[in-house]
Amino acid sequence: MSDLPQTMFAVLQKYEGYSGKAEGPAIADASEYLEAAEIPVPTPGPGQVLLKLRVASVNPSDLHFIKGEYGQPRIKGNPAGFEGCGDIVATGAGAEKLMGQRVSFAVALGCSGAWADYAITDAMNCIPLRPDVSDDDGAAQIVNPLTAMAMVDIAQQDGDAFVVSAATSQLGKLMVSLGKDLGLKPIALVRREDAVGPLKEMGAAEVLVTTDPDVVKKFAAVSADLKPRVFLDAVSDQMSEQLFAAMPNRARWISYGKLSNELPKLTQMGQLIFQSKKIEGFWLTSWMRSTPPADQMRVIGEVQARFADGRWKTDVSAHLPLRDVVSGLAEALKKTDGKVMITP
């Protein structure tokens, strides 16, 4: 590690633990939650690696986390950021084989985050990248793609049609195209009429616009026809509840995000009783804990193959320099046509 600097630039969490709020991922000013600092470059422990950052992605889960609304407590003074692409420049005992490799990585819970010149994680959270996968794709290859794979797998066990909200999000698009490739019938929910065409091209069997005053009626007709049993929902608002109520017997409303801060009322409790409907959640961390490593590796290999051959790609709305994250993140997030990527 002799050629590594002593200190590095990093974007740190300002607060500890949970906020106790449930506002959703929107941020007006990143400096409310984050601050820039020069801190010591961390040293990898046994089984760990040190990564020199190439690109870090900004996921909704990152925003939930820095706001203290995620499933894990914040650690004050730790760099933010769950996921990225980087080069392994130092290794702890047992991780030597990875030295020098370009990898996708997710940070280990409680470890130093990705929004820094250097980051630490467990060797098992690194996926060596094929040369034909770009840094941008490599920086968004874990959280969203694995979530998409895992959730579509859940949907597939309950039939061929499934519902995806916020379908223009990176994750939504991955699920629609994956569903199509598997011969399933994704029903996409979007907010804007102009998203209908592109999602149909991507493979959605139906696309419904949630701002259409007749959307519930139209969805009920689609639902009666295609019989979706699984609703993969990133929004989790009253509209979600209304659409769930229009789904058939045994439907499952699986929330994996809370883009809206509206608190949905359960207007049809009787459907849980008489129609065996269920409301539940999905969290990638829980999925990884409960899914055998061999199954995870199979899914990871399939994800990378999809990025390498162009079936999947990461739409990037902006590249934001790491040193501009605190001042510029809120503004960069205003463009909703792709993902914000952080570069050193």
Please identify, using beta-carbon distances, which residue of 23 and 35 lies nearer to its own copies: 23
Pairing of β 48-57 and β 252-255: unpaired
Please identify, using beta-carbon distances, which residue of 69 and 136 lies nearer to its own copies: 69
At residue 342, what is the residue type?
Answer: I
CA distance 284 to 244: 22
What is the nearest approach in angstroms of its own copies to the Cβ of residue 274? Answer: 3
b/e map 89-118, b = 16+ CB within 10 Å: bbbbeebeeeeebbbbbbbeeebbbbbbbb
Q: What is the CA radius of gyration of the chain?
A: 20
What is the nearest approach in angstroms of its own copies to the Cβ of residue 273? Answer: 4
What is the nearest approach in angstroms of its own copies to the Cβ of residue 18? Answer: 10
What is the nearest approach in angstroms of its own copies to the Cβ of residue 166? Answer: 14
CA distance 189 to 231: 10
What is the nearest approach in angstroms of its own copies to the Cβ of residue 232? Answer: 12
CA distance 244 to 251: 7
What is the nearest approach in angstroms of its own copies to the Cβ of residue 162? Answer: 18
Please identify, using beta-carbon distances, which residue of 81 and 264 lies nearer to its own copies: 264
The number of beta carbons lying within 10 Å of the beta carbon of residue 13 is 21
Please identify, using beta-carbon distances, which residue of 86 and 172 lies nearer to its own copies: 172
What is the nearest approach in angstroms of its own copies to the Cβ of residue 69? Answer: 6
Phi then psi for 308, rounded to 5 degrees?
A: -65, -40
Catalog residues that contact its own copies under the rule CB under 8 A: 22, 69-72, 236, 255-258, 263-283, 286
CA distance 327 to 310: 34
Please identify, using beta-carbon distances, which residue of 92 and 281 lies nearer to its own copies: 281
Please identify, using beta-carbon distances, which residue of 211 and 276 lies nearer to its own copies: 276
CA distance 74 to 80: 9
Please identify, using beta-carbon distances, which residue of 18 and 338 lies nearer to its own copies: 18
Q: What angle do CA 341, 21, 324 make, to 5 degrees?
A: 25
